[in-house]
Every structure is written in structure tokens, then in C-alpha cells.
Amino acid sequence: MTPSLPQRVWLALRTSAPVGLAGGTLYFIVIAALSVFTAVLDGQALSLFGLVLFIGAGAGLGLLIGIVAGVAVAVVAPLARTPTARRVVGGLAAGVPVLAFTTWEYLTDTIGVLAPDITTVIAVPTLVAAVGGAALSGRFAPDD
């Protein structure tokens, strides 16, 4: 029996929220560590308090993006018939909203303290969301 839409959304929230929170936190920890050695930050110094706020913002954004991507996968993935198609659809369902959000963020220059680099701002979050969406899509397989 295939779960109903509210059940799929609840499952997506339970699955994607912790993963998004952890992924966002880890992503911004890596960015903060790289900022010590490179120019990842947009010419701004990072104090200990700033680092804590930076990582907290990363956790919040990761949680938000994780929830949006997870719910998109929950709604769209069961429409695919085969496991391979489900993974592709799940990857697209999670990756496209993240790509749209990060591209908008990049083009409007609302990146904040990150240097406006396409790899850091657009490519990595989109790739992570697409891979996560493809992995999450298997949880919404209809019973065969």
C-alpha cells in the first residue's frame, strides 16, 4: 500500500529535517575552516562570535533547504514507475529548488559573508541536494 500524501510529507520532514540541519551545519563549518586559509569570505574578518552566528545561520538554512527538498521529493518521487526513474526524479525534485534559490541568491548578491563564487554558492548545495533527493526517493517507493 502506497502511503498517502500527508504520510509521505511527514516522512520527508522526519527524514530531511535532521539531514538538512546536519548538512547545513557541516557545510558552513567547512566554509569557516576554509576561510582561515583562503578568501572564501567576502573580505570580512570572522571573530569567534561571528563564527558561531555563521554556523548557526548555516544550520538554519540547511534545515530550511532540507525541508523544501524533502517535501518536493515526497510529492514527486512516487510518480515514477521504476527505481532508476524514481532516483532521477527525486534528484531533480530536490536539486531544482535548491538550484533556483542559490542562483537567485547569487544573482541578487544577497549571499552575505560568502564570496560570490559559483562553486561555493550554487554548485555544492545543488549537488548535495540532488544526491540527497535521489537517496531519499527510495523511501517513497510504492509497494510492488
Tens digit of pLDDT for each residue in 42-86? 566 667 777 777 777 777 777 788 888 888 888 888 888 888 998
**pTM summary value:** 0.72
The arithmetic mean of pLDDT across residues 18-41, rounded, is 67
- CA dist 12 and 8 (Å) reads 6
Q: Given this model, what pLDDT does residue 117 score?
A: 75
Q: Name the band, by pLDDT with cuts 50, 70 and 90, for residue 144.
A: very low
Highest mean pLDDT among 24-33, 48-57, 115-124, 130-139: 130-139
Cβ–Cβ < 8 Å for 125, 102: yes
Neighbour tally for 126: CB within 10 Å: 20
- CA dist 23 and 25 (Å) reads 5
Cβ–Cβ < 8 Å for 62, 98: no
Residue range 79-94, pLDDT digits in tens: 888 889 989 998 999 8
Q: Given this model, what pLDDT does residue 96 score?
A: 92
**DSSP-based helix, strand, coil % in the chain, nearest 5:** 80, 0, 20
Instruction: Give the CA-trace dihedral at 43, 47, 48, 49, to 10 degrees.
Output: -100
Measured distance between the N- and C-terminal CA atoms of the chain, rounded to whole angstroms: 9
Q: Given this model, what pLDDT does residue 88 score?
A: 93
Q: DSSP state, 79? A: G
Strand partners, 41: 114
- CA dist 57 and 45 (Å) reads 17
Cβ–Cβ < 8 Å for 133, 92: yes
Cβ–Cβ < 8 Å for 27, 119: no
